[in-house]
Structure 1
């Protein structure tokens, strides 16, 4: 039974620090699987309230951090679900003197992976184990089965594996958790997951925008289309909830609730980190970048309203066959999603190489098939693609995806052209198509870029007829004068 009195030493098998919604739900999830859970929160009354609400469970806790730590069996396993940033460092500093060699602390928040690397190194000097673990699935996932991305010491993971596999989401491909790699690998993969999520959500928003502006469809009509799409190749959690969102009416006005929501999207930072690291690692992720830009532009509401009065807008009437256009948008959405996932997987591979993590891309696709926000039928296809060729350079050149994207190309290109003609912004669709066209281009115009750089800055270039001969410089002004 739950107790708020001083818990017995070593009486609990798993500890949770932080009783916000995610922390509470994960504690209950662990408890569901037969483990005694001990909890702690900065506000001690939260502990009392939580244990009182769940007095029928084998849980314990304390408002005293030392008592909380002592309540855990060795090696201690403590999951922190607290705000990222300084609070994590402060909590780790408080815990360290109370722990013993071999104990394990997990940060389950959305921390920046380089902070995780620093924290893991600091704990290692104390013979303590620190894990950075991505947790995806929101409140429901935390309660009933999230996708988990733990990174830390591989040997210590064996002490976490039974619990994490028990609480993770389950699919036909197993528990949605795996050992990702050392130090910051788990939080890096979660960061990229969120970047893909940004791209996915923007692509869906653009599909919705095309259907309402080009075809003049209402929210419920679009909901029916998304519901149908969710039965095929686009089947996913985000497509499913989009259909549900579009069916809800506003209790105040009776209009579709989505139409009453201000078009200003927020962001919490992981998408921005993804873009920044991609630039550092020289990995192009234009679909994800376009999604970030779209959110930033959406935040400029007043400026956009003023601009619309000055600049106007072209006609937005589509004169073609509606059914054909709906099918074309479906194909464009699918092909663009493949590009977004291809970019994300390429970034994970680059990060793994840079920091020697040895991340298994097939496993990343597998653990995302359930529990997480981007779970989709597409991820099972990606998993099988890596089964066929674990070292494929890019998903676009994997045989199955090559054929599927090429089958979608005509409609994809038609949708982007139509959107441009009607003045409907589709930055993620357009960026995805440009990525596809650029990636498959044998010749790009950067020969001219290199010539310009060499002209004004003597940055040198390689000759196309003998690229292995090294870099050369041309005195362009002298040659032009001739």
Structure 2
């Protein structure tokens, strides 16, 4: 099987290499010359334009997009006029699931098949494999089977056709929402242990022991244990947590479907709170306590 990978960032380049290790022929394209050079240095074939990429692939072509969500539509606008009926496009990035139906319709007008693929695995996917959640027609998924088997942790697990177009990105959206909640729970638990100074707990030791036999063991715990071993006090790390947007989509979906999701919602709000260096809300809370109870208000320069 031959495949074109569009987008050679951390995920796309690693996926291209894993596909090659699985015996597939991959040609990669990225607008950045450095990204193309990195893949070439790893033994991968590259093209310096979308036109060259399409010309390098045999028909019917398979093009796998690993680009930011906001770049998918612009790439499709450039790509579709170059394709022919029977070609197949996979959107493997973190796109909003509701965009998948519109993109599938746009591809369908050109008689090009479309598959949305929720992709999990991060920078570890090259060695460990990727978890793939796919939405689309069964015939399109059948064409992709060799690639899915090569990308997944094993040929018979770690990937699934979860439903029609949109279902793959929907499952990945919910996956990321759950991830937010799990990460927040670990962070709060370790913060609680760090604060109990009288026990002088070795947090790296606790994390390591939890990794074996505990009901809370997970890959996130593995990463936490490694981080605490390397930097027990987390020195030099700012308390500022970004979000990719999928947590917000998950919370919005929960509201629309009237599904209670307080843990995921609060974990998202905690990420937003982490970015406040001088919280207006906290200052107003302090003033309200003073107003109704006469509690002292600490001045900004009073120190901790």
* CA deviation profile, 1:177-201 (whole Å, cap 9, x unmatched): 0111111110110010000000000
Listed as ranges, the matches of 1:219-234 within 5 Å are 221-231=202-212, 232-234=214-216
Which residue in 1 is equivalent to 2:299?
none
Q: Which has the larger radius of gyration?
A: 1
* CA deviation profile, 1:230-260 (whole Å, cap 9, x unmatched): 11211210111111111223xxxxxx34144
The alignment's TM-score, normalised by the length of structure 2, stands at 0.86
The alignment's TM-score, normalised by the length of structure 1, stands at 0.56
Listed as ranges, the matches of 1:51-450 within 5 Å are 52-54=40-42, 57=43, 59-85=44-70, 87-170=71-154, 174-214=156-196, 216=198, 221-231=202-212, 232-249=214-231, 256-303=232-279, 307=283
Which residue in 1 is equivalent to 2:25?
36
The offset of 1:60, in angstroms, is: 2.6
Q: How many residues align?
A: 286
Which residue in 2 is equivalent to 1:441?
none
Q: Which has the higher strand share?
A: 2
The offset of 1:307, in angstroms, is: 4.6
Contact 2:31 2:49 in 1 (8 A): no
Contact 1:26 1:143 in 2 (8 A): no
In structure 2, distance between residues paired with 1:45 and 1:221: 42
In structure 1, distance between residues paired with 2:184 and 2:39: 41
Q: Secondary structure at the match of 2:4?
A: strand
Q: Secondary structure at the match of 1:141?
A: helix
Instruction: Give the RMSD, CA atoms, in angstroms.
Output: 2.4
Q: Secondary structure at the match of 2:117?
A: strand
Contact 1:248 1:257 in 2 (8 A): no
Shift of the 116–240 alpha-carbon distance from structure 1 to 2, 3 Å rule, reads same
What are the ranges of 5 or more consecutive residues in structure 2 without an aligned counterpart?
A: 288-304
Shift of the 247–304 alpha-carbon distance from structure 1 to 2, 3 Å rule, reads farther
Which residue in 2 is equivalent to 1:376?
none
Which residue in 2 is equivalent to 1:319?
none
Shift of the 304–99 alpha-carbon distance from structure 1 to 2, 3 Å rule, reads same
The offset of 1:302, in angstroms, is: 2.2
Q: Secondary structure at the match of 1:110?
A: coil
Q: Secondary structure at the match of 2:279?
A: helix
The offset of 1:167, in angstroms, is: 1.6
In structure 1, distance between residues paired with 2:247 and 2:145: 28
Contact 2:115 2:140 in 1 (8 A): no
The offset of 1:282, in angstroms, is: 0.9
The offset of 1:84, in angstroms, is: 1.1
